[in-house]
Amino acid sequence: GQNIDQPTEMTATEGAIVQINCTYQTSGFNGLFWYQQHAGEAPTFLSYNVLDGLEEKGRFSSFLSRSKGYSYLLLKELQMKDSASYLCARLDSNYQLIWGAGTKLIIKP
């Protein structure tokens, strides 16, 4: 199918590092997006990966392994404002986004 799997919820401590994993179907793959969504708000773009490897953008990094159908989002130096849901989305062969259900990240002081 078109399943995208990511953990439902994660908890981390302020100032720490957290890795949010995402696995997806590899056929018809045209790239992998990560979006952030605060409760009651719209998703906002974080990153896009189409080639294998790590893309770093400030405190946030995203990794892709196309052969394994695997991506992760790495958040460093966690801040309370990082409490949000993180949505993994695969760009399919029709260039449409197939979305995971999101990972709710809870940051504790």
Partner 1 sequence: NAGVTQTPKFRILKIGQSMTLQCTQDMNHNYMYWYRQDPGMGLKLIYYSVGAGITDKGEVPNGYNVSRSTTEDFPLRLELAAPSQTSVYFCASSPGTSDIDEQFFGPGTRLTVL
Q: What tokens appear for 10 in the block?
A: 């994660």
**Contact predicate 88/100, CB 8 Å:** yes
62 contacts 74 by C-beta, under 8 angstroms: yes
Query: Rule CB under 8 A: which of 7-66 touch partner 1?
Result: 8, 30-31, 33, 41-45, 48, 50
Among left, alpha and beta (phi > 0; psi -120 to 50; other), residue 28 is left
Choose between 48 and 70: whose C-beta lies nearer to partner 1: 48
CB of 14 to partner 1, least distance (A): 26
The binder of partner 1 chosen from 16, 77, 96, 108 (CB under 8 A) = 96
Total residues binding partner 1 (CB under 8 A): 23
Integer-rounded Cα Rg, in Å, for the chain is 13
* Dist. CA 57–CA 78, nearest whole Å: 14
> For residue 47, which phi and psi values (nearest 5 degrees)?
-160, 160
69 binds partner 1 (CB under 8 A): no
Q: Is 1 in the site for partner 1 (CB under 8 A)?
A: no
Nearer to partner 1 among residue 45 and residue 80 (C-beta)? 45
Residues found near partner 1 in the complex (CB under 8 A): 4, 8, 30-31, 33, 41-45, 48, 50, 87, 89, 91, 95-102
